[in-house]
Amino acid sequence: MKSIPPAQFPPQAPAHAVPRDQVVFNRLEIGSLMGLYGRMVAAGEWRDYGMSFLREVAVFSVFRRAAEHPLYRIEKRPALRLKQGLYAVIAMDGHILKRGHDLPQVLRVLERKLIRSVN
């Protein structure tokens, strides 16, 4: 079998590079999400999280237990940035709790739930 010389392979991207056809959260967005997650863990509401980065959407999912469906999904959809808003908080049953263009403003719907559970 004939081998292909290494020069003919496409150059490898660095390990930290993200494919251009993938939606991701930036550093500020991750900071907002992890700040809320930390407060909810401290309150005993959430125990686990997961992130998915797909072609059209980036999803931050939070769980009460690791083996169940997510309680909430925080989605980033760039295709909706000029319409309903880039961000959405979606409940376990699929209802959209809040949409908007500003992530901290959208996350306030979950902050209210934290205040209610602590009182």
For the entire predicted model, the pTM comes to 0.75
The amino acid occupying position 88 is A
Per-residue model confidence as pLDDT tens digits over 83-115: 888 999 999 999 999 999 999 999 999 987 665
Model confidence over 29-46: pLDDT tens digits? 999 999 999 999 998 888
Mean pLDDT of the 48-68 span: 88
What is the DSSP code (8-state) at residue 65?
A: S
If you average pLDDT over every residue of the chain, what do you get?
82
Dist CA 51 CA 60 (whole Å): 5
Element housing 113 (H / E):
helix 103-118
Band of residue 4 on the pLDDT scale cut at 50, 70, 90: low
